[in-house]
Amino acid sequence: MSDDIHLLSLVELADAIAARHLSAVEVLTATIARAERLQPVLNCFISLQAEAALESAAAADAALARGEAPGPLHGVPLAHKDMFYRAGHVTTCGSRIRRDFVPDHDSTALSRLDRAGAIYLGGLNMAEFATGPTGHNEHWGDCRNPWNQAHISGGSSSGSGASVGGRVVYGALGSDTGGSVRLPSACCGVVGLKPTNGLVSRYGLMPLSHTLDTVGPLTRTVRDAARIVGVIAGHDPRDPTTSDRPVPGYEAALAEGAEGLRIGVPADYFYDLATDEVRALMERSLDVFRSAGAEIVEVSVPDIARINNLSNVVLSSEAAAIHEPWIAGRPDDYQEQVRNRYEPGLHVPAVKYIQALSARAGLLREFVDTALAGVDALHTPGIPFAIPTRDQTNVGGGERMAAMVAGLSWCTRAANYLGGPGLIVPCGFTGNGLPTAFQLMGRPFSESTLFRLGHAYQSATDWHTRAPSL
């Protein structure tokens, strides 16, 4: 068995299995061994369903032996944030309250991955009920960064970031309500997409905010993300918020490159918290785009602080409505910092909530007409400073803790309220040896353009090929 199976990208692996250069059982056996070895180091799994996964891998090999056409993810081991429902399997949502919860239906996103041939390996660690940007979890233990376990993995899709960044699985789904796919991607050195609201079904996903929640992949490369999104995107009658637009050929569009595209660099807000070293790394990434034929222009953005404040009104109100029965009946089963984020929403006037919802369409138009006027995408930092440690961001982390935790999502929160896509692409390392990344933001349903740009960057750089020593 090759010693470097775990270093292959998702697409490389899928193609190798389809060509029968590798067997699904061979790959899965190696993946399980790596997962079991690294679980004490990263704590990225809540449940590892090795036996069922091996049965699925054997069935995948048998299908190829019968001459059946492979799906786009045939035999590829994936694991997902432990809030995507699978009928008959415990889905904890990273909580004590749902430690024994067994759903009676499957998530649409997982069902589509199954049909594409992916192998489900288990449920991944996460912030409790998808609430928190760091990866701390008192119930299941903190998830840890594969590049340095003293540092945060990012949240709330913490296990998704750590397992993909640690080269345990080849891709993972997460949810993103304010940055929860993009933050762990930036922290762990992987690609992460927050898709346009309505592109991917949320049916069978434990909600946090019905308005802001999205489902997106964390992968090793932009091409990997394009392949997964091509599988999970599209209308779902069980989720009436999904769009009925045809799903583009995301992966095929990558060949178009960055030539002729225009990238906007914001003059306001997004760099307000950026350190000098992050600014320098962002500029170097822009140099790569210039060399790839893209034009870089400075743009102004609307009042992002106002957008974030309105987003907080929506999130706190909707989260409180979902959790009110548990807050009333079993408040001590929450981590204190999680419960404290929900309780203010119980006191938001309905007028304020409705006003916050009503303002979204107009603010999206303003954002498109200003920040994206004449450009194809906006380029920002992913996280504006070096990835902090778990101690710095934990309860009792000192007087700067609250500001640092809030600053993690400085560049990500607006996209959820506005509804457009955001793509995280790793672009180097800060002085503490942790990854950093840029974010590309676009108009609604402009994922193909963001993928084109991200792939062009990765075609000219090798940050995505670097793996932590584990």
Options 156, 185, 311, 316, the catalytic residue: 156
- Strand 422-429 relative to strand 435-441, pairing: antiparallel
3-state helix, strand, coil in the chain (%, to 5): 45, 15, 40
Q: Which residue has tokens 């914001």? A: 266
Residue 127 token pair: 């912030």
Question: Closest by alpha carbon to 220, among 412, 33, 424?
Answer: 424
Q: How far apart are CA 162 and CA 153, in angstroms?
A: 6
Q: How far apart are CA 124 and CA 206, in angstroms?
A: 14
- 194 counts as catalytic: no
CB atoms within 10 A of CB 432: 14
- Give, as one character, the DSSP assignment of residue 443: S
Options 9, 23, 56, 81, the catalytic residue: 81
Q: Are 80 and 108 in contact (CB under 8 A)?
A: no
- Give, as one character, the DSSP assignment of residue 125: P
Q: How far apart are CA 57 and CA 22, in angstroms?
A: 12
Question: Closest by alpha carbon to 157, among 130, 177, 178?
Answer: 130
- 81 counts as catalytic: yes
- Provide the 3-class DSSP secondary structure of residue 247: coil
Q: How far apart are CA 20 and CA 64, in angstroms?
A: 8
- 180 counts as catalytic: yes
Q: How far apart are CA 406 and CA 342, in angstroms?
A: 16
Question: Closest by alpha carbon to 211, among 197, 190, 225, 193?
Answer: 197
Options 158, 180, 209, 446, the catalytic residue: 180
List phi, psi (to 5°) of 360.
Answer: -60, -50
Residue 83 token pair: 């809030």
Q: Are 178 and 413 in contact (CB under 8 A)?
A: yes
- Provide the 3-class DSSP secondary structure of residue 439: strand
Sequence-ordered list of residues with C-beta below 8 angstroms from that of 242, at least 6 positions apart, any chain: 198, 199, 200, 201, 234, 235, 236
Q: Which residue has tokens 């998530």? A: 107
Strand order in the sheet with 435-441: 45-48, 119-124, 77-81, 171-176, 214-219, 191-194, 422-429, 435-441, 377-381, 262-266, 295-299
Positions marked active-site: 81, 156, 180
